[in-house]
Structure 1
């Protein structure tokens, strides 16, 4: 819709334009000049004589029609026109044209004109105007500027799939793409994440029978119901986004699901099921999996999600998905010929999603405290959750094993609101108060002294940078990128000071 007004403005207010070009290749203009009397003759067939003086010395116009006249015939001239070939009947008109805004009138409008004139129908119903790729600062790429990103070099360095996904992720309608190698490298990490997740999963699917029958999804464990529901939601989001040409939204939905839901949560939660752990907390050790009903169901859901995720990813990252497809049990032929997933209402489960949001919220809260307190990942801790709703407390109790495993807890106490536990750091999720005991873990006095010293050092550096930025002589004489660099450094230091102070406040409050 962004360019619709521009297009119709051109069509409704069209003016004569110069149609001739002095180039070597093109449709020759069907005009001849009589060398005897000078009359100009325009004819579909080459004339044998001048209709005015009957002279036979005729010279055809050396100019050709501009390039867009030839291009305008492309939708039908490539398929056997003037004959009504089966190919022409099948593919004219087509559904959508993808192009750039800079040739909207030169090419798109001319194809419309020629299609309506010769074929009596428009060549396509929809036009998708794709973004222009610019450099990281939004400038047009130019060899003279030296800011051209060579796609062949990029693909060689980061992989074609990473490059494709980067372009898709930033292809928002109406916005140009600011491309940088750093962004491409970021999405290469995403491709690696997919590869590693599948490599881990496939080692547990050796000998798996894809014909396993899932009786009733309602009897699945919480995490299996949740991932099915999330996958089903992503399928719907992806189909809508592709139908509306919102490719960046489709890429974003896949990225969020694969990395932050499937990899970060689902795979981590089901590891104890795949391996079976003998205990929780510090005494965990891995054993051979027991062939329980939950184990078999989890293997099937894992296989099901892998299968459907590969199909969803394939239009965006075709090479890695094709490779992984052939490693998945029960597949044959190319993934290109596999049916694209469709939404399944039976997999929609708001109850499971709400319960998992609760589990993830509590786990993330505990993890955030661990991060802020610089507690090592291997250290198991004690946590308390205070909640006013008895129903929610029961949900937490029902799924405490997941929270214990994911948050590395020794104990988890769930209780109604009351006095905060002593020597604890706290955070809030929804109407829950979450506490992590720091007793015996942190030397409060030493940590307060360290943080105070670091805050003082950061404050001194901030004052120096602020003084520099208030110096008009520096602002006027220093290059713009240098001034910008000082601004960015000051912002980073200000954020660092804020976090240090926040950490100090938590430590001071906990030392009671």
Structure 2
């Protein structure tokens, strides 16, 4: 058979062609109605998104599992779709309007949403096209979108049902408020960044001209500072929020302020005649050793203060509007501050009254928060109540999309009782009903779930699932699937207004494992494919998506969404840093595919994924796996040139030659190891198993070992009987080699689908039997241990001979004489049966002298080597020398090795001393320490290698 494969492997030529073939022919979900189901749902990427390197890892691992299970005959369903991405998508369309000198508020809500849908249809499929380039074998015929009609119905039903069950409620709580987007956002959408800021220290004068003795003591209780004061000192990084203070808190154990607890102090800002007084309270939150030990409590604008205010019944006053400007609504400051002073003295007020109170003095109203900060600081300083200011690095929360500093703000929102919903998932993981892999993530899971806070699910957007709630004039909410049902609840004649907010996109995506299958309808897909079999996701969305799917799945369906959750790590830059656009170290997976092919990138991802550890990006490794693909390509061309084509059987062919029995056994062992690795979700072990089998056992050894079979077949100068036997052996070898190559294509397909499908198709006619739906190997044989021992010994011996020759500088093209002084009976037979291959692979001329060791054989060998210049090869049951006279300049080679040995010994000693210095290890950059350790390992190995080489030369 002459090869019809091109000389050069070109990934771009085959990838688009094969992907279209698979998709157009429905091969990603072949009809297998009676087959066992296997289901994975893809974490739905944002409809605005494009493929990044994290997507490449996540989807590669999922595709490996889905292709593997499809080959094993399962009804493998990989659910695919996109998330409507409320904030991100609305921003995209608003930017388009801005570019046309337009804005969202110039349009009705309905018209704007229509524009979003128009954008989605025209431009929202970028990432799904890119997933195809990666080779993801998803069921595109059932592609989902979280705003599809059937999905939206399931979202609204979930909201209504949870509200009916008392698990969704409306409350006024502190949220992350994005002043640019004018909406609450989740913790996931907040980036904490170190920024250069300031800490201001102010005096809060005591009420009624009171004074106290401020005393500081050392560890032994001795007074080190004492002063009479008429104020309590407060430090803050956000002076503008002082206007909303509800109290000053000190720790119960802080003796410095014990006499002040229960008294009032004055906020040192605003018109003097209307300044508010607030109580001094105790709480566990203040740290007596940090700053002055006293902290101001602004419950409506700080997360920690919010907790203190809740615990102590402190009023929480909202200071800012939706764009983080100081409020300008409501009554004059004189009236509201008077009522606030009454509250500080114990007078009661409703939450609505407190929310309506604008405690921003007129001179600050309408100012941006940072302009207000400047004015507040300047006014306090002018009055002599500023103690000082210090520069300080602070953590600032930024909205990851709006790009501005987040304002903690007290607002009315809808919340899910996540604490109640978390109970069933916690129990499922503890009982083992849901397994988290790697197990090390369980502690983190429990810690978060057992301390979970109410989940804010409302967003102040237009794009998304609008909350199914209507309000009457008193503000009472009526939750229902339709307005008609809400009106029925409210009663005749009651005017209702629909809630303007939409639901958090994580709320809808929490239904993904079952709503994508048709839930709440009890469809055939729900019956067969829910629960799913596995979820693969990054650890970074464990709480925001994975845990919430567990909550919703258990509550709404009574079942866990899947029995196993695999959490992979991040793909980091080559130096280990996290990738970010600001650092300029982001890697484009499409660029890697353009350079090396999708198969190489996929194999890199699998080979580097080690049970959740982060992956360091390495283009050279990707290039190495491209070379691996080329190696398989060329091996297939070699097979075709020797008449080796497609196999016609699933079970292994009959074999008589040891080399053929051996390679069949290698297939069996490789498949067993691969099955075990994938069952344990050890992707690196699985990839390395098939890699070493293909490159090492098949290409480097088996194909080389069988070349002699075909060479002997071509030798016609033999008797007819011998010729017939040679033809039989060659035909057996062709059958075995073709079968093994087919098994390679199948075993490798989950990792490298494109090249394997191309080579499979070029090995022979396989009508209606593409590789993607082929049958997983079933050799139906056991490993022939005798053949394995024989061929493994042969390979090991050849390797040792090659290594010995290389150590002493024997040129690769020379074939020195090798004298075998001893082999035992078993190895005699092995050498006889494989002598042609042995000589060719070891690149030696072979002379057999004796087959039995005599008592002084070793001495004679040593003497012979010293006299004639030879290297000794000794193994159990085998002894031989390789002649060097006339092959190398022994004296020059010794000198070269000795010189290199001196250098490596010196370097190893220097590095050992450096690494033994605790100061270097502790103070040097981690990458410098890592490099030193790698260099020490290299030079230590070189010392051993060079010493062994010199010992061989005698």
Common fold, TM-score beyond 0.5?
A: yes
**Greater shift after overlay, 444-453 or 240-249?**
444-453
Partner of 2:612: 174
* Structure 1 residue 456: Cα displacement: 5.9
Aligned counterparts of 1:92 and 1:64: Cα–Cα separation in 2? 28
User: Which residue in the other structure is 1:245 paired with?
Assistant: 681
The C-alpha deviation readout for 1:325-354, integer Å capped at 9, x for no partner, is: 11112423421121111242x241111111
More off after superposition, 166-175 vs 483-492: 483-492
Correspondence 1:103 to 2:538:
no
Rounded Cα–Cα distance in structure 2 between residues aligned with 1:482 and 1:213: 53
Q: Name 1:38's counterpart in structure 2.
A: 475
SS at match of 2:565: strand
Instruction: Deviation per CA, 1:372-397: give whole Å up to 9, x if none.
Output: 12222332222245558544444444
Which of 74, 78, 82 does residue 520 from structure 2 map onto? 82
1:30, distance to aligned residue in structure 2 (A) = 3.2
Moved more, 238-247 or 381-390: 381-390
Contact in 2 for aligned 1:269/1:402 (Cα 8 Å): yes
- 1:240-389 → structure 2 map (5 Å cutoff): 240-276=676-712, 292-333=727-768, 334-344=770-780, 346-385=781-820, 389=824
For 1:484 and 1:357, locate their aligned partners in 2 and report how far apart those are by CA, in whole Å: 36
C-alpha distance in 1 between matches for 2:622 and 2:909? 37
Q: Tell me, what secondary structure is at the counterpart of 1:128?
A: strand
Q: Partners in 2 of 1:402 and 1:373 — Cα distance? A: 23
User: If each structure's strand is expressed as a fraction of its own residues, which one has the higher value?
Assistant: 2
C-alpha displacement of 1:257 = 0.6
Q: CA 1:395/1:178 → structure 2, altered by over 3 Å: closer, same or farther? A: same
Contact 1:172/1:248, CA 8 A, preserved across alignment: yes
Tell me which residue corresponds to 1:435.
Answer: 881
- SS of aligned partner of 2:612: coil
1:222-272 Cα distance to aligned partner (Å, 9 max, x none): 111100110111112222222222222111111111001001110001112
Contact kept, 8 Å, 2:652 with 2:736, in 1: the verdict is no
State the 1:70 CA deviation: 0.4
Q: Aligned partners of 1:42, 1:209: CA distance in 2, in Å? A: 64
Q: What corresponds to 1:448 in structure 2? A: 894
Return the offset for 1:447: 3.0
Task: Label 1:125 to 1:475 Cα distance change in 2 as closer, same or farther (>3 A).
Answer: closer
Distance 1:492 1:24, change over 3 A: same
3-state SS, counterpart of residue 695 of structure 2: helix
| C-alpha distance in structure 2 between counterparts of 1:89 and 1:211, whole Å | 37
Q: String of CA shifts for 1:390-431, please: whole Å, max 9, x gaps.
A: 444444444333322211221143634412143221244456
Q: Aligned to 1:190, which of 608, 617, 628? A: 628
**1:284 alignment counterpart:** none
Structure 1: how far apart are the matches of 2:764 and 2:619? Answer: 36
CA distance in 1, matches of 2:783, 2:922: 60
2:569–2:612 contact (8 Å) kept in structure 1: yes
Whether the 8 Å contact between 1:365 and 1:429 is mirrored in structure 2 is no
Q: Which residue of structure 1 aligns with residue 200 of structure 2?
A: none
Per the normalisation by structure 1, the TM-score is 0.84
Q: Larger helix proportion, structure 1 or 2?
A: 1
* Residue of structure 2 in register with 1:424 after alignment: 870
Deviations 1:172-217 (A, max 9, x none): 21312222101111111111111110011111127x6855999983
User: Contact 2:713 / 2:726 at 8 angstroms: preserved in 1?
Assistant: no
Pairwise CA distance, 1:323: 0.9
1:158, CA displacement in angstroms? 0.8
Say whether 1:27 aligns with 2:468: no
Query: 2: CA distance between counterparts of 1:466 and 1:80?
Result: 64
The structure 1 residue matched to 2:487, chosen from 48, 56, 60, is: 48
- Flag the 1:9–1:215 CA change in 2: closer, same or farther, 3 A: closer
Is this contact kept in 1: 2:817–2:847, CA < 8 A?
A: yes
Q: Which runs of 5+ in 1 are unaligned?
A: 280-287
Tell me, what secondary structure is at the counterpart of 2:813? Answer: coil
Deviates more, 1:487-496 or 1:446-455: 487-496
3-state SS, counterpart of residue 514 of structure 2 = helix
Picking from 213, 217, 228, the partner of 2:664 is 228
> Is the 8 Å Cα contact of residues 232 and 343 (structure 1) preserved in structure 2?
yes
Are residues 462 and 406 of structure 1, via their aligned partners in 2, closer, same or farther at CA, if it must alter by over 3 Å? closer
- Aligned residue for 1:173, secondary structure, equals coil
Distance 1:148 1:142 in 2: 6
- Consecutive unaligned residues in structure 2, runs of 5 or more: 1-436, 716-722
Q: Which is greater in Rg?
A: 2
* Paired residues of 2:646 and 2:742 also in contact (CA < 8 A): no
Q: State the shift of 1:145 in Å.
A: 1.3
Give the corresponding residue for 2:558: 120
1:284-306 Cα offsets, whole Å, 9 max, x none, are xxxx9996111111111111111
The residue aligned with 1:132 is: 570
Q: Aligned residue for 1:91?
A: 529
**1:141-196 deviation per Cα after TM superposition (whole angstroms, max 9, x unaligned):** 11111221110000000111111111111122131222210111111111111111
| Counterpart Cα distance in 1 of 2:665 and 2:917 | 58
C-alpha distance in 1 between matches for 2:782 and 2:548 = 48
- Between the two proteins, the alignment pairs up a number of residues equal to 495
Q: Could you tell me which of 63, 67, 81 is aligned with 2:501?
A: 63
CA RMSD of aligned residues (A): 3.8
**CA distance in structure 2 between the aligned counterparts of 1:478 and 1:242, rounded to whole angstroms:** 40
Specify whether residues 28 and 431 from structure 1 end up closer, same or farther in structure 2 by C-alpha distance, changes over 3 A only.
Answer: farther
Q: After superposition, give the CA deviation of every residue in 1:1-35 in whole Å (9 maximum; x if it has no partner).
A: 42344445545554423232333333333333322
Q: Which deviates more, 446-455 or 15-24? A: 446-455
Q: Structure 1's 192 and 17: CA in aligned 2 closer, same or farther, altered over 3 A?
A: same
| Equivalent residue, structure 1, for 2:36 | none
Q: Distance in 2 between matches of 1:213 and 1:253?
A: 21
Deviates more, 1:67-76 or 1:397-406: 397-406
